[in-house]
Amino acid sequence: MLRAGSAHTLRMELRRFGFLAIVAIAGLPWIALAEDPAPKPMPAAPVKEVAPNKTIALLGQPVIGPLGQEVGRVVDVLVDGKGDPQAAVIDFGGFMGVGIRKIAVQWNTLHFNPGDPKYPVVLDLLPEQLKAAPAYKGETKPAPVVAPPWEAPAKPEQEQPKAGSGAAKAQATSTEAGQ
């Protein structure tokens, strides 16, 4: 039989064990999570070092004209869908920030000299050609890209007169008379 004092002690023991049981049950998921191994880290991507005299940080670089004068600074590069550069945007002209305008020049008009701090980027276009070039208005508008002079658009062929027309007969007559 239980004594009066022992009933109270029994209730206290049950409460204490009940509380411990609740804590133990609530803590089981945390214990399970703590026992899970940490996920394996992703392998590092391969790293390739490039010598500083083999590369150039292009944006902000001065652009030197063919006569050795600074003509502007590279402020953007326009690339196609494959990531191949198509044109460079150069801040051209102006004095102390006044009168500067952006010109897009075809990529192959630029030559890069990473090891030469005096002439890192050289442009094959003369200042007169740049002055005559239309301004680059930003990426939301079609970019007028200045091409090098050796890639000047071909002159359209003289249109041949249609057969049966008076001009065709006159051309044929003049050709025959010349023979």
Give, in order, the Cα–Cα distances in Å from 78 to each of 50, 107, 132, 177.
23, 9, 21, 56
Please give the pLDDT value at position 123: 93
Q: What is the mean pLDDT of each run of 10 residues along the chain (179 residues)?
A: 56 59 56 63 86 87 91 93 94 68 93 88 89 87 81 52 47 44
Going along the chain from its start, the domains and CATH numbers come out as: 56-147 (2.30.30.240)
Please give the pLDDT value at position 172: 44
Q: Which two tokens stand for residue 86?
A: 């198509």
129 Cα distance to chain centroid: 27
In tens, the pLDDT along 149-172 reads 766 555 545 444 444 544 444 444
Give pTM, 2 decimals. Answer: 0.58
What residues contact 161, with CB distance under 8 A and at least 6 apart? Answer: 167, 168, 171
Q: For the beta carbon of residue 104, count every other beta carbon within 10 angstroms.
A: 22
The Cα 146–Cα 171 span in angstroms is: 39
Please give the pLDDT value at position 171: 45
Question: 160: exposed, middle or buried (C-beta count within 10 Å: 0-12, 13-18, 19+)?
Answer: exposed
Please give the pLDDT value at position 101: 87
